[in-house]
């Protein structure tokens, strides 16, 4: 009697389809560049069960984030099988390997059961090269009716992919990059986490490295990952970044503790492509307070050997500060730690790190460097200021197009923070356009729907009026100005005879110029986009026009009277007058590098303005480059810089223009 035996299962290669790396990662973590609004970009939640069947040592060195280790060999067995393969050939290696693997096969099925995987479910598997280890386990699971896919080329192909994402210094970022800088103790990490909670994208270089960056950065942290593991998770985070909003990165060096920052990310930090570098500025007393809270809180000091750990950071010659501080300061710091003088130690550390950061910050290649003064250590308040500064930088670079919808540029902020940021944006967004109206080489982009902007401004009901010195030319504006700026450019100075000028920027539809009988205007084209007009009789400056009259810049001297919406009804307009006067408060200084005198008033100071024809090509989803022909060529600079004509480089604390 003939007996039919069941056919043998096909070989592994035909049972487990091999997926290229992008398809494998898509199956494991979903489509690329979807973002993770309001949450950590590194909070991976695998969609499928992924098995790394390499040895425990291989897995610990680096693996695909989201995979679990189900080793086919121990580290010792892998070494033994590899040696047999080299010395005795394939057969002997396979024979020895089967002896090691056989007893483990039921345990592999148990792992799947414990993870909730049932026959019929899809499972992903990979080994080093996508060869026998993953193929063998895939064959086994296929026999048990699991739907198996393996990684083509194995883990080695994943490592090659990582290099293409973050490992090459010329790799473009997936989104406009905003680098958050500032001296030690300003609370950059706390602000970035607050921004992340508001929906911003944050590449946490320190958090993923388990290190805070300084000599004390390892304290209270988990052991650092290997460089390979660090690069793996960074590549996966970058894969997740959405191009529709900026990517925030903390200003780091080439390494965080023992972890090397990949070359591609180092390049983004250095140049902030498509975005800007925001530098947080804070008084040292506040930064000392912040450091004491971070490193010497009651909770930390209650941990065993915490103070000894602080001392080791100071006295260690390798990885510590002993060689950098010198013997005398090391002794003083240790004595202060013994006496519990935490603020004294913090101030000593800041003296060292501030000099280091100042030198390092000069290496930035970003064309947009904005310095933002912070009056508090509160992370939420500072995050709002950073968002407002970013909106202002965006509007300055994109021209008035960004002015018309400031809230869209801070999407994802908490309601109150969004309102504050939008208000600040509306105040600061016209920075460069206003400067363009006032000075020489400057220019601005058209405002788009200027009529709509004028209608919105007119709805606010504020009217400004004024006349030239002889009274033959009168100017009337309706609605709040889009921006009010001081300008230090050489053209404004030469035409006014003053160290700087001040003007308000309006849409053309907001401005009416009335000429008396026989009056006329004398005009002069002072740049390609700016034409200036004076009364021909008394030579008082009346206004400047931009972009063929689409925008008007009116000197504040012409707007000596105002009238609010209640004036025509005979109501008390005192309060309204105060609000109207506030509309004409200057918001910033432009072309401060060209100044002939220092001004200490707490206002932002831009080194230059918007210059046409020097921009870089815009990128898809680039928030800060809506017009490819316009870039912010200048930087915010400190209020004082040692005086001197032009200001550029005239003082040691003046930021110079970055290389083009």
Domain with 455 in it: what CATH number?
A: 2.170.150.70
Q: For residues 590 and 431, is the Cβ–Cβ distance under 8 A?
A: yes
Residue 220's region, left for phi above 0, alpha for psi from -120 to 50, else beta, is left
**Of all helices (H) and strands (E), which one includes residue 530?**
strand 530-535
Q: Which two tokens stand for residue 48?
A: 């499928």
3-state secondary structure of 582: helix
Q: Residue 394 domain-assigned? A: no
Tally of structural domains, the chain: 3
Q: Which residue's entry shows tokens 């026999």?
A: 143
Highest average pLDDT, of 387-401, 455-469, 548-562, comes from 548-562
Domain boundary among 345, 366, 387: 366
Whether 450 and 361 share a structural domain: no
Mean pLDDT throughout 606-627?
A: 38
pLDDT band per the 50, 70, 90 thresholds, residue 75: confident
Highest average pLDDT, of 48-52, 493-497, 504-508, comes from 48-52
Whether 326 and 200 share a structural domain: yes
Whether 106 and 213 share a structural domain: no
Highest average pLDDT, of 227-241, 330-344, 512-526, comes from 227-241
Whether 154 and 198 share a structural domain: no
Mean pLDDT throughout 459-483?
A: 84
pLDDT of residue 647: 29
Q: Residue 409 domain-assigned? A: no
Cβ-proximal residues to 48 (8 Å cutoff; 6+ apart), any chain: 27, 28, 122, 123, 124
- d(Cα 581, Cα 563) in Å, to the nearest integer? 10
Q: Residue 533 domain-assigned? A: yes
User: What is the gyration radius of the CA atoms in the chain, in angstroms?
Assistant: 32
Closest CA to 593 of 652, 646, 650: 646
* Enzyme catalytic residues: 127
Whether 177 and 156 share a structural domain: no
pLDDT band per the 50, 70, 90 thresholds, residue 220: confident
- Find the range with the poorest average confidence among 304-308, 401-405, 593-597: 401-405
- d(Cα 212, Cα 216) in Å, to the nearest integer? 7
> pLDDT of 21-43, one tens digit each?
999 999 999 999 998 877 889 99
> pLDDT of 164-186, one tens digit each?
999 988 899 999 999 999 998 99
Whether 137 and 178 share a structural domain: no
Q: Is the pLDDT of residue 231 over 70?
A: yes
Length of the chain counted residue by residue = 660
Q: Residue 466 domain-assigned? A: yes
Q: Which two tokens stand for residue 20?
A: 């290229």
Whether 353 and 204 share a structural domain: yes
pLDDT of residue 190: 94
Q: Residue 573 domain-assigned? A: yes
Backbone angles phi, psi at 243, to 5 degrees: -75, -5
Q: For residues 561 and 464, is the Cβ–Cβ distance under 8 A?
A: yes
pLDDT band per the 50, 70, 90 thresholds, residue 266: very high
Q: Which residue's entry shows tokens 């009346």?
A: 542
Residue 272's region, left for phi above 0, alpha for psi from -120 to 50, else beta, is left
pLDDT of residue 605: 81
Per the model's pLDDT, the better-predicted residue between 590 and 98 turns out to be 590
Domain with 69 in it: what CATH number?
A: 3.40.250.10
> pLDDT of 312-354, one tens digit each?
778 876 666 777 777 788 888 888 888 888 888 888 888 888 8
Q: Residue 391 domain-assigned? A: no
Q: Is the pLDDT of residue 607 over 90?
A: no
Cβ-proximal residues to 73 (8 Å cutoff; 6+ apart), any chain: 55, 81, 97, 100, 101, 133
- d(Cα 47, Cα 51) in Å, to the nearest integer? 13
Q: Is the pLDDT of residue 620 over 60?
A: no
pLDDT band per the 50, 70, 90 thresholds, residue 590: confident
**Of all helices (H) and strands (E), which one includes residue 356?**
helix 342-361
Q: Residue 56 domain-assigned? A: yes
Whether 323 and 184 share a structural domain: yes
Domain extent at residue 348 = 172-366
Whether 180 and 290 share a structural domain: yes
Domain boundary among 163, 189, 218: 163
**Of all helices (H) and strands (E), which one includes residue 162?**
helix 154-162
Domain boundary among 321, 350, 366: 366
Per the model's pLDDT, the better-predicted residue between 520 and 639 turns out to be 520
Q: Residue 222 domain-assigned? A: yes
Mean pLDDT throughout 515-531?
A: 84
Q: For residues 554 and 473, is the Cβ–Cβ distance under 8 A?
A: no
Whether 198 and 331 share a structural domain: yes
pLDDT of residue 581: 54
Whether 49 and 99 share a structural domain: yes
Whether 124 and 194 share a structural domain: no
Q: Which two tokens stand for residue 143?
A: 């026999």
- Find the range with the poorest average confidence among 437-446, 485-494, 544-553: 437-446
- Find the range with the poorest average confidence among 95-109, 280-294, 424-438, 473-487: 424-438
């Amino acid at each position: 009697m003939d007996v039919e035996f069941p056919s043998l299962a096909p070989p592994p290669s035909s049972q487990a389809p091999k997926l290229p790396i992008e398809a494998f990662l898509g199956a494991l973590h979903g489509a690329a560049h979807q973002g993770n609004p309001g949450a950590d970009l590194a909070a991976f939640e695998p969609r499928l069960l992924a098995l790394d069947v390499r040895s425990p040592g291989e897995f610990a060195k680096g693996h695909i984030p989201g995979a679990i280790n189900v080793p086919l060999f121990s580290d010792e067995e892998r070494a033994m099988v590899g040696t047999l393969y080299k010395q005795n050939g394939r057969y002997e290696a396979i024979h020895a390997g089967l002896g090691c693997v056989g007893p483990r096969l039921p345990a592999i099925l148990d792992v799947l059961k414990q993870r909730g995987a049932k026959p019929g479910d899809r499972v992903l598997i990979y080994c080093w090269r996508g060869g026998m280890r993953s193929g063998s386990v895939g064959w086994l699971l296929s026999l048990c009716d699991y739907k198996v896919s393996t990684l083509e080329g194995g883990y080695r192909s994943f490592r090659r992919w990582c290099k293409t994402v973050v490992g090459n210094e010329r790799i473009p970022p997936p989104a406009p990059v905003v680098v958050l800088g500032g001296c030690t103790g300003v609370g950059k990490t706390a602000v970035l986490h607050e921004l992340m909670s508001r929906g911003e994208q944050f590449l946490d270089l320190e958090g993923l490295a388990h290190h805070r960056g300084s000599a004390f950065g390892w304290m209270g942290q988990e052991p650092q990952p290997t460089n390979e593991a660090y690069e793996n998770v960074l590549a996966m985070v970058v894969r997740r970044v959405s191009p529709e909003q900026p990517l925030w990165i903390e200003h780091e060096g080439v390494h965080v503790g023992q972890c090397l920052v990949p070359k591609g990310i180092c390049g983004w930090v250095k140049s902030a492509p498509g975005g800007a570098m925001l530098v947080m500025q804070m008084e040292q007393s506040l930064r000392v307070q912040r450091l004491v809270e971070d490193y010497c809180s009651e909770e930390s000091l209650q941990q065993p050997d915490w103070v000894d750990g602080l001392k080791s950071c100071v006295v260690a010659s390798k990885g510590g500060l002993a060689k950098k501080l010198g013997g005398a300061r090391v002794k003083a710091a240790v004595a202060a730690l013994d006496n519990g003088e935490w603020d004294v130690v913090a101030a000593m550390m800041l003296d060292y790190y501030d000099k280091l950061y100042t030198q390092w910050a000069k290496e930035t290649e970003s064309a947009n460097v904005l310095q933002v003064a912070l009056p508090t250590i509160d992370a939420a308040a500072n995050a709002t200021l950073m968002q407002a500064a970013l909106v202002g930088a965006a509007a300055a670079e994109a021209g008035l197009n960004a002015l018309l919808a400031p809230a869209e540029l801070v999407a994802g902020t908490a309601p109150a923070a969004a309102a504050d940021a939008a208000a600040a944006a509306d105040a600061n967004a016209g920075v460069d356009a206003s400067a363009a109206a006032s000075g020489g080489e400057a220019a601005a982009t058209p405002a788009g729907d200027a009529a709509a902007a004028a209608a919105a401004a007119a709805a606010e009901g504020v009217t400004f009026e004024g006349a030239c010195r002889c009274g033959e030319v009168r100017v009337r504006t309706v609605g709040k100005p889009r921006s009010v700026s001081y300008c230090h450019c050489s053209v404004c100075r030469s035409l006014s005879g003053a160290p700087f000028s001040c003007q308000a920027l309006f849409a053309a539809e907001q401005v009416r110029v009335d000429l008396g009988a026989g009056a006329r205007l004398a005009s002069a084209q002072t740049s390609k986009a700016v034409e200036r007009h004076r009364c021909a009789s008394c030579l008082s400056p009346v206004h400047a026009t931009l972009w063929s009259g689409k925008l008007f810049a009116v000197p504040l001297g012409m707007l000596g009277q105002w009238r609010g919406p209640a004036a025509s009804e005979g109501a008390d307009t005192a309060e309204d007058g105060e609000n109207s006067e506030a509309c004409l408060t200057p918001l910033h200084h432009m072309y401060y590098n060209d100044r002939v005198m220092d001004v200490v008033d707490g206002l932002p100071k831009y080194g230059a303005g918007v210059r046409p024809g020097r921009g870089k090509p815009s990128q898809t989803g680039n928030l800060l480059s809506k017009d490819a022909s316009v870039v912010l060529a200048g930087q915010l600079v400190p209020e004082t810089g040692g005086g001197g004509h032009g200001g550029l480089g005239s003082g040691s604390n003046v930021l110079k223009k970055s290389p083009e």
